[in-house]
Amino acid sequence: MALSSSDRTVLFGTAKVSIQIQKYIEAKRQAGREEIQQVFSEVPAANLRAYLKRLIDRGAVRFEQGVYIATYSTPVFGFRSDAAWKAARILKTFKAEDIARVGDVDIAHAKRICDDWREKGYLVVMGRDGRIPIYRFVSDLVVRPVGSEGGSNG
């Protein structure tokens, strides 16, 4: 399943290969080196190894038993956060699980992103369902601002 450089740019919304690789692994949750090499076949093997090493060093992925596993612990630049932002704008009032369902993102990411957006003033807590916060989207921004990705650094 080799993708051309231009196809990857359109698919991942960026021309930066390291971000494309991070997005690919996060979308799949995990991927082996051979699978990654097939998708990024235009990237020389030495460069691909360097990109993967940097992702490990940044904490974006971890390598276990021959597989690169997404950690979701660094900012996610892209489609998952954008989908969550769109879901929040549509729902207006929601719990993190609602963002996960409507935005088609995992619940852990939805919780992190809600915490991040609350800290940045895009959401307020309107109440609670037991211990679960109920958020209200208060931003009038249409496009998710850069730097509001929901990771521990975002």
Query: Domain locations in the chain?
Result: 5-70, 79-137
Q: Are 28 and 39 in contact (CB under 8 A)?
A: no
In tens, the pLDDT along 27-85 reads 899 999 999 999 999 999 999 999 999 899 888 899 999 999 999 876 655 567 778 88
Single out the residue of 108, 107, 109, 102 nearest to residue 87, CA to CA.
102
Neighbours of 123 (CB within 10 A): 23
| Predicted pLDDT of residue 106 | 85
Domain 79-137: assigned CATH number? 1.10.10.10
Supply the pLDDT for residue 154: 33
- Mean pLDDT to the nearest integer, 86-96: 92
Segment 136-144 mean pLDDT: 83
What is the model's pTM?
A: 0.50
d(CA 145, CA 110): 16
- Beta bridge partners of residue 132, listed in sequence order: 129
The per-residue pLDDT for range 103-114, each reduced to its tens digit, is: 878 898 899 989
Q: CA 89 to CA 135: how far, in whole Å?
A: 11
* pLDDT-derived band at 153, boundaries 50, 70, 90: very low
